[in-house]
């Protein structure tokens, strides 16, 4: 969950190299650092906090060789000392991932007299690489030995004193090497280098690379050179520029009409790329965070329209429970980055059990895309804000298309022409929802509260889960979502005067049930807001705070229902003065378990 950038080539300004790192600040921003070559010496500068702090403490200089890092703390608190890079004797590294056996290794290294200055697993990795290099007198042999000893995940950029080359080592954590005009970059994600080049290669697990100013060589475990494929990234650099918007999150919400349109249009035109999931006896969806919430929506739609049982599991729990996965099971893995460590590990387990695996990811050639039997790409483009918005919607569209494809094949989809017409109108409806101003008024009534609750039944509960997550992620309000009928089984004791309770009602069949639960909280002083459709408003009290969305086919209705919640969370966080794009303690791409 950290950002790595390395550079080797003709002389380049340190500030320019750090500008590449800033494009990855959404991956980690507790601290940052840089190691660079100057006068044949490796200089290291590290600072707690944002990259701007590092820049303020860095001399204006040029270099031909550097590694940089922005950290999301796992081992050791955020501090200057714990920040990367870490140097032990001849070896300096930056590292993304977790060395799981670092304590065992640390004990053994300390017995040899090595002293450690930090609490990090990365310093242990540097010490181990240094010892192996000193023992073997060969950098390749040292890397191979490290890969046999170190357990866990790692993307490592490494410098060796006296050896003016850049080394890249990869296992279970993403790392790319980019080919620029005047040299090479390494990075943990493509957006880092888009202002310099869109040409790159991906390292596979247990591969490593030696990079000189003029050459790139990739090796496998047998020290054989690998013929790598140079890929071209299709999205433009403008996607990492927020333009005239105050925050990336707001920009990305404003892109949702286009994202939904592009994703629907692509798969309606390429229906043959979508598998017919009706041949499976059951479906398992594995994911984390917002992807888990969208998986629950997928469960509701698949079970409702296709009569296939669906089990949605948190990827972080999947490997630690008894699984009933077999060749008749389709396992769907949902991940925006395609690198989510827990989801990737779950996919590998499902593959071992003989299941077919389907990835729904946003990043081509990502680890999950390569590991699954088949992949469906969302068309969200680069998403910078840590709290997902447009990527969530694009995942939902792909799940909807899975249902549509299967219903179409089975010729059971009633009113298909009307549905397709509504899909064409969706971008316009989305744009109108985004441009409304009533979210700010409701945000004004709730932003000073410390607790709030979202409730709904059935599919509305699944929407409430994402609504609540978005609120807590960026506003830091303690927010919970509950199945509406569960309130009276304990949670209603937390309702007091002016506690915000936001109800989700899209299904007229359960309107009366949900409304009775809402009135239970209102009678105890709750501040009520309801997000619903035009048809349902006719049955509601006139004095209730309402956000109304257009009524469309049930299959696509969740797309419209979630947008007001995204904007309500945004406006609330803005009133509270929160760092909306980079919420505290969170990172965009969760590449550690």
| Mode of pairing for the β-strands spanning 62-71 and 41-48 | unpaired
Report the alpha-carbon distance of residue 445 to residue 525 in Å, rounded: 14
Catalytic hit among 47, 48, 210, 588: 588
Report the alpha-carbon distance of residue 296 to residue 286 in Å, rounded: 10
At 511, list the tokens.
Answer: 């309107």
DSSP secondary structure of 265-334: HHHHHTGGGS--GGGSSEEEEEE-HHHHHHHHHHHHHHHHHH---EEEEEHHHHTTS-----TTEEEEEE
| Residue 417, strand partner residues | none
Buried b (16+ CB within 10 A) or exposed e, 557-570: bbbbbbbbbbbbbb
Contacts of 205 (CB under 8 A, 6+ apart): 170, 171, 172
Contacts of 462 (CB under 8 A, 6+ apart): 293, 296, 297, 299, 300, 456, 558
Buried b (16+ CB within 10 A) or exposed e, 14-24: beebbbbbbbb
Query: CB of 129 within 8 A of CB of 86?
Result: no
Strand order through the sheet with 310-314: 310-314, 282-287, 329-335, 356-361, 374-377
Report the alpha-carbon distance of residue 461 to residue 99 in Å, rounded: 38
At 36, list the tokens.
Answer: 């660079």
Report the alpha-carbon distance of residue 285 to residue 303 in Å, rounded: 13
Report the alpha-carbon distance of residue 256 to residue 431 in Å, rounded: 8
DSSP state of 193: G
Strand order through the sheet with 183-187: 41-48, 31-38, 62-71, 3-13, 183-187, 176-179, 199-202, 231-232
Query: CB of 175 within 8 A of CB of 155?
Result: yes
CA angle 357, 361, 363 (to 5 degrees): 130
Residue 118: helix, strand or coil by DSSP?
Answer: coil
At 43, list the tokens.
Answer: 């200089």
Spell out the alpha helix ranges (H) of 27-174. Answer: 51-56, 102-111, 121-136, 139-149
Three-state secondary structure along 72-100?
Answer: CCCCCCCCCCCCCCEEECCEEEEEEEEEC
Report the alpha-carbon distance of residue 246 to residue 84 in Å, rounded: 30
Active site residue 148: no
Contacts of 126 (CB under 8 A, 6+ apart): 86, 87, 88, 91, 92, 93
Report the alpha-carbon distance of residue 394 to residue 269 in Å, rounded: 16
Active site residue 588: yes
Spatial CA neighbour of 366 closest among 544, 189, 152: 189
| Active site residues per annotation | 2, 588
């Amino acid at each position: 969950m950290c950002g790595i950038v390395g550079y080797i080539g003709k002389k380049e300004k340190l500030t320019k190299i750090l500008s590449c790192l800033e494009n990855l600040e959404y991956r980690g921003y507790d601290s940052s650092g840089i190691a660079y070559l100057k006068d044949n010496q490796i200089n290291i500068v590290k600072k707690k906090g944002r990259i701007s702090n590092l820049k303020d403490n860095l001399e204006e200089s040029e270099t031909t060789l550097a590694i940089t890092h922005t950290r999301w703390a796992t081992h050791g608190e955020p501090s200057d000392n714990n920040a990367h890079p870490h140097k032990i004797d001849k070896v300096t590294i930056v590292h993304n991932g977790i060395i799981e056996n670092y304590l065992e290794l640390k004990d053994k290294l300390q017995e040899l007299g090595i002293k450690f200055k930090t609490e990090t697993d990365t310093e242990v990795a540097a010490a181990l690489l240094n010892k192996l290099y000193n023992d073997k007198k060969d950098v390749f042999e040292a890397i191979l030995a490290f890969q046999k000893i170190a357990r866990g995940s790692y993307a490592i950029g490494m410098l060796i004193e006296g050896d003016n080359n850049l080394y890249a080592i990869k296992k279970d954590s993403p790392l790319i090497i980019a080919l620029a005009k005047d040299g090479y970059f390494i990075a943990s994600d493509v957006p880092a280098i888009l202002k310099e080049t869109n040409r790159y290669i991906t390292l596979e697990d247990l591969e490593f690379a030696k990079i000189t100013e003029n050459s790139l060589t990739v090796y496998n475990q047998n020290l054989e050179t690998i013929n790598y494929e140079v890929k071209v990234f299709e999205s433009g650099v403008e996607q990492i520029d927020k333009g005239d918007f105050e925050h990336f999150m707001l920009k990305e919400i404003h892109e949702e009409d286009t994202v939904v349109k592009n994703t629907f249009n692509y798969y309606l035109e390429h229906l043959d790329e979508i598998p017919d999931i009706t041949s499976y006896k059951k479906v398992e969806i594995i994911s984390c965070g917002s992807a888990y919430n969208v998986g629950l929506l997928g469960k509701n739609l698949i079970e409702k329209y296709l009569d296939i049982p669906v089990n949605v599991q948190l990827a972080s729990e999947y490997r630690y429970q008894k699984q009933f996965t077999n060749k008749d099971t389709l396992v769907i893995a949902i991940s925006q980055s395609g690198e989510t460590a827990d989801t990737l590990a779950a996919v590998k387990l499902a593959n071992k059990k003989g299941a077919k695996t389907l990835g729904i990811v946003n990043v081509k050639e990502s680890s999950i895309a390569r590991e699954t039997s088949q992949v469906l790409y969302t068309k969200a483009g680069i998403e910078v804000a840590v709290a997902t918005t447009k990527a969530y919607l694009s995942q939902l569209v792909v799940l909807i298309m899975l249902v549509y494809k299967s219903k179409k094949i089975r010729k059971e989809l009633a009113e298909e022409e009307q549905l397709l017409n509504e899909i064409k109108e969706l971008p316009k409806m989305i744009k109108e929802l985004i441009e409304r101003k009533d979210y700010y008024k409701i945000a004004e009534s709730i932003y000073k509260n410390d607790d709030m609750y979202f409730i709904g039944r059935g599919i509305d509960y699944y929407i409430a889960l994402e609504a609540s997550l978005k609120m807590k992620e960026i506003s830091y309000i303690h927010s919970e979502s509950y199945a509406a009928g569960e309130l009276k089984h304990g949670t209603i004791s937390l309702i007091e005067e002016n506690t915000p309770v936001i109800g989700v009602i899209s299904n007229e069949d359960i309107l009366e049930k949900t409304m009775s639960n809402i009135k239970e909280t209102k009678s105890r002083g709750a501040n009520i807001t309801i997000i619903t459709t035009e048809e349902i408003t006719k049955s509601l009290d006139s004095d209730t705070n309402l956000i109304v969305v257009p009524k469309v086919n049930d299959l696509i209705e969740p797309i419209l229902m979630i947008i007001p919640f995204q904007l309500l969370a945004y406006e609330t966080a803005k009133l509270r003065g929160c760092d909306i794009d980079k919420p505290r303690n969170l990172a965009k791409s969760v590449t550690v378990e």
